[in-house]
Chains A and B, each alone.
Chain A
């Protein structure tokens, strides 16, 4: 159940690592966009073969991120503003595509989320993606992203391909967002134009909780995974108490509080070192 959150947190990680205060605020709406367009455009038109679907979601995620990266690098607008407008744009578009939760996921996906056993296809998918992350984090390419994020001026002056690293970080983010969207679609079995947005904040919270600095250059995917699992567990524990109608609010309250607190702790620790 925590799969979409873990994947979304991993999606934000390379962009934050690449520095410049870049945080992808649009990760949630992008997830939602892939979810609703998958349900609306592909399934309803019977283009629902697994290959077709996977090709589509990855292409959508990657293309969007390439556009965002190009604006950040060449127009030199602060990344946070760019992704903020992306958030606004996509959350509007999502509602245009699908005005309320409806539709069905591709047939072959339907039984994925319904299984009670932990060993569902979503779980295997998650393991594959985490494997991919571990591979990615050992590549020289990942190192170039971290170098760029840790000190962009140093990296530039020493001939690191910073534009390439930044584009790459966004592309990887696009792939992980696509995976998160697939997992999300499998879990809810339909399309939902608004729920995706909530992933922005929880993914960032997971990342910060995992010890990645929003200033870039330090941290990593493992922390984000643990952070996401933590948030999921907190939510889960909270939901076992019977808060009745307010349980959703308790979640909101705790997510917000955890985010602010972990930011504070992070900054205090950085200052002490």
Chain B
């Protein structure tokens, strides 16, 4: 048996958050001097695993052992030499650069170094990383995001870690900066550090990883070593299942659909200042998928289309109106324009304190049944019963709290609510998050019906296989702009994943055919 006290061991860990299982019996071993990559699709449990090693999340069962010890919180993990760079750029915006970089180095009573030394180290480090002079006393809020990202990285490297965890740490860095980060990682590897990388950039990890563990739905499905790590293997391991679904998709492919007038069009759209502009059109009868890796701008695009936020440049018009007005109209009167359904039910969907019936009817109080006066219960009840039947929502008693329903049924209530508003366009933001397959299938069928009756659907999902069942085309976003449009004839795990990861296009399709122009 190896000497396990010199390694990082994850032994059969499981973790649930409410209804969803994040990790289910995962095990892996990370040896010193090894760069160990953890890959998987969105929601496969990678980040949870990384947080578990750094002590932020505690496993429900199983054990994490770092050189023979199990840290119970980040403070203990830090004492064992663990440093983690989180996906979110965790900085205290109101404090100075030096305070941020040295956060956690001092104990409550003892300073690890004098302020003067800290300032000098801070200046040197940032100069090495960013190749610019940064005053250690600058308030972090006033620095660009890329520098903030370096602050977070510098904080981790400064601790001379024995275990370094990087969770999507290069997301905010450009290519040149990533190369510098890789140099640092290699240097640490030489010195015998255990390095764990969670990343979406497959090309990147192929270059630097010694070992790669593939996660799917919270389970370890495959592990590659050294030269075995290549892009196609990783991609296929990440998405190996779903043969059944693909077969089904072929049967239900949306061929020869009649497409109506343009209902939503965007010109010169700029999601974020400086991001490439693009145009986009949505027609009645169409279902358009929207996807991309975390933070690539697809979510922002959806919100802009729904009129929830303004783009930094360009215009969006819905049925000839500005998108933001159109959203107002949607709830002011029925049958006019846009309804929005969020997959983030807890944050912007349900009212956890209200009943199923009220969650359904709240926006309808004002639209169809008069804003003032009494709530007209009878027509609402009819609409409710109608949608319950149509979407086959499993409700207990309608006056039960919405939280008594499973996630899938909560989502159906929200979709029913959107349909009952009789919009022309439904914008759905990852509505199938945490919803089982049967429910998804029903949802697709209903949206298809809605489109066939002249509605238009924008459907965001990060699980690409969702689109196979019913989308007419899929917009893939990258770097805060539209990267590629994939028509349904070309749908496959491979083409979509390749687009998401920014692979060059092999299928040589013609953008013009899809009715959009890349700026």
Do A and B actually bind?
A: yes
Chain A residues with CB under 8 Å of chain B are: 140-141, 143-144, 146-147, 150-151, 153-161, 164-165, 168, 213, 217-218, 273
A141–B109 touching, CB < 8 Å: yes
A-contacting 9-mer, from B70-78, B326-334, B352-360: B70-78
Instruction: Report the separation of the CA atoms of residues A154 and B79 in the bound assembly, to the nearest whole angstrom.
Output: 17
B104–A160 touching, CB < 8 Å: yes
Task: Give min CB distance, A137 to chain B, whole Å.
Answer: 13
B103 at the interface (CB under 8 A from A): yes
A147–B95 touching, CB < 8 Å: yes
Instruction: Report the separation of the CA atoms of residues A131 and B409 in the bound assembly, to the nearest whole angstrom.
Output: 63
Instruction: Report the separation of the CA atoms of residues A143 and B99 in the bound assembly, to the nearest whole angstrom.
Output: 8
- Beta-carbon nearest neighbor of A168 in chain B: B108
Inter-chain pairs besides A151-B91, A158-B90, 10 sampled, C-beta below 8 Å: A141-B109, A147-B95, A147-B103, A150-B94, A153-B90, A155-B104, A157-B56, A157-B86, A159-B74, A218-B95
B90–A157 touching, CB < 8 Å: yes
B110–A158 touching, CB < 8 Å: no
- Chain A CB count within 10 A is highest, among B54, B77, B95, B141, for B95
Task: Give min CB distance, B110 to chain A, whole Å.
Answer: 7
The interface residues of chain B lying within 8 Å CB-to-CB of A140 are 106-111
A158–B74 touching, CB < 8 Å: yes
A217–B90 touching, CB < 8 Å: no
B216 at the interface (CB under 8 A from A): no
The interface residues of chain A lying within 8 Å CB-to-CB of B90 are 151, 153-154, 157-158
Task: Give min CB distance, B89 to chain A, whole Å.
Answer: 10
Kindly identify which residue among B77, B92, B106 contacts A151, using a CB–CB cutoff of 8 Å.
B92
B93 at the interface (CB under 8 A from A): yes
B200 at the interface (CB under 8 A from A): no
The interface residues of chain B lying within 8 Å CB-to-CB of A141 are 108-109
The interface residues of chain B lying within 8 Å CB-to-CB of A165 are 108
The interface residues of chain A lying within 8 Å CB-to-CB of B106 are 140, 143-144
The interface residues of chain A lying within 8 Å CB-to-CB of B84 are 157
The interface residues of chain A lying within 8 Å CB-to-CB of B93 are 150-151
B108–A159 touching, CB < 8 Å: no
Q: List 7 A-B contacts (CB under 8 A).
A: A140-B107, A141-B109, A147-B95, A151-B92, A154-B91, A160-B104, A217-B94
B109–A158 touching, CB < 8 Å: no
The interface residues of chain A lying within 8 Å CB-to-CB of B86 are 157
Instruction: Report the separation of the CA atoms of residues A218 and B139 in the bound assembly, to the nearest whole angstrom.
Output: 11
With contacts A140-B110, A158-B103 known, is A150 near B75, CB below 8 A? Answer: no
Chain B 39-83, CB within 8 Å of chain A: the 1/0 string? 000000000000000101000000000000000011101110000
B95–A146 touching, CB < 8 Å: yes
- Beta-carbon nearest neighbor of A150 in chain B: B92
B478 at the interface (CB under 8 A from A): no
B448 at the interface (CB under 8 A from A): no
B103–A154 touching, CB < 8 Å: yes
- Beta-carbon nearest neighbor of A160 in chain B: B104
Kindly identify which residue among B75, B92, B94, B142 contacts A159, using a CB–CB cutoff of 8 Å.
B75
A159–B141 touching, CB < 8 Å: no
The interface residues of chain B lying within 8 Å CB-to-CB of A164 are 108
The interface residues of chain A lying within 8 Å CB-to-CB of B108 are 140-141, 144, 161, 164-165, 168
Closest A-B pairs by Cβ, 7 of them: A159-B78, A150-B92, A158-B104, A151-B92, A154-B90, A159-B104, A140-B111
With contacts A143-B99, A147-B95, A150-B94 known, is A161 near B141, CB below 8 A? Answer: no
- Beta-carbon nearest neighbor of A215 in chain B: B94
Task: Give min CB distance, B369 to chain A, whole Å.
Answer: 38
Task: Give min CB distance, A269 to chain B, whole Å.
Answer: 12
Instruction: Report the separation of the CA atoms of residues A9 and B354 in the bound assembly, to the nearest whole angstrom.
Output: 43
Chain B residues with CB under 8 Å of chain A are: 54, 56, 73-75, 77-79, 84, 86, 90-95, 99, 103-104, 106-111, 141-142, 155
With contacts A151-B91, A154-B92, A159-B74 known, is A273 near B103, CB below 8 A? Answer: no
- Chain B CB count within 10 A is highest, among A153, A158, A213, for A158
With contacts A157-B56, A158-B78, A161-B75 known, is A217 near B107, CB below 8 A? Answer: no
Task: Give min CB distance, B153 to chain A, whole Å.
Answer: 13
The interface residues of chain A lying within 8 Å CB-to-CB of B54 are 157
Instruction: Report the separation of the CA atoms of residues A151 and B142 in the bound assembly, to the nearest whole angstrom.
Output: 16
Kindly identify which residue among B74, B99, B141 contacts A147, using a CB–CB cutoff of 8 Å.
B99
Kindly identify which residue among B77, B94, B107 contacts A161, using a CB–CB cutoff of 8 Å.
B107
Task: Give min CB distance, B341 to chain A, whole Å.
Answer: 29
- Beta-carbon nearest neighbor of B100 in chain A: A154
B92–A217 touching, CB < 8 Å: yes
Task: Give min CB distance, B232 to chain A, whole Å.
Answer: 36
B107–A273 touching, CB < 8 Å: no
Instruction: Report the separation of the CA atoms of residues A147 and B104 in the bound assembly, to the nearest whole angstrom.
Output: 9
Task: Give min CB distance, B164 to chain A, whole Å.
Answer: 14
- Chain A CB count within 10 A is highest, among B75, B77, B78, B86, for B75
Instruction: Report the separation of the CA atoms of residues A157 and B50 in the bound assembly, to the nearest whole angstrom.
Output: 12
- Beta-carbon nearest neighbor of B82 in chain A: A159
- Chain B CB count within 10 A is highest, among A140, A146, A154, A160, for A154
Instruction: Report the separation of the CA atoms of residues A151 and B94 in the bound assembly, to the nearest whole angstrom.
Output: 9
Instruction: Report the separation of the CA atoms of residues A169 and B147 in the bound assembly, to the nearest whole angstrom.
Output: 31
B74–A156 touching, CB < 8 Å: yes
Instruction: Report the separation of the CA atoms of residues A144 and B108 in the bound assembly, to the nearest whole angstrom.
Output: 7
The interface residues of chain B lying within 8 Å CB-to-CB of A146 are 95, 99
With contacts A157-B56, A157-B84, A157-B86 known, is A147 near B92, CB below 8 A? Answer: yes
- Beta-carbon nearest neighbor of B88 in chain A: A153
The interface residues of chain B lying within 8 Å CB-to-CB of A161 are 75, 107-108
With contacts A140-B106, A157-B74, A158-B103 known, is A273 near B141, CB below 8 A? Answer: yes
Task: Give min CB distance, A212 to chain B, whole Å.
Answer: 11
- Beta-carbon nearest neighbor of B89 in chain A: A154
- Beta-carbon nearest neighbor of A219 in chain B: B94
With contacts A140-B108, A157-B86, A159-B104 known, is A217 near B95, CB below 8 A? Answer: yes
Instruction: Report the separation of the CA atoms of residues A174 and B91 in the bound assembly, to the nearest whole angstrom.
Output: 30
- Beta-carbon nearest neighbor of A154 in chain B: B90
Instruction: Report the separation of the CA atoms of residues A159 and B55 in the bound assembly, to the nearest whole angstrom.
Output: 9
Instruction: Report the separation of the CA atoms of residues A151 and B104 in the bound assembly, to the nearest whole angstrom.
Output: 12
The interface residues of chain B lying within 8 Å CB-to-CB of A159 are 74-75, 77-79, 104
- Beta-carbon nearest neighbor of B79 in chain A: A159
Instruction: Report the separation of the CA atoms of residues A155 and B54 in the bound assembly, to the nearest whole angstrom.
Output: 14
Task: Give min CB distance, A195 to chain B, whole Å.
Answer: 36
Instruction: Report the separation of the CA atoms of residues A125 and B368 in the bound assembly, to the nearest whole angstrom.
Output: 70
Instruction: Report the separation of the CA atoms of residues A164 and B86 in the bound assembly, to the nearest whole angstrom.
Output: 23
Instruction: Report the separation of the CA atoms of residues A248 and B107 in the bound assembly, to the nearest whole angstrom.
Output: 48
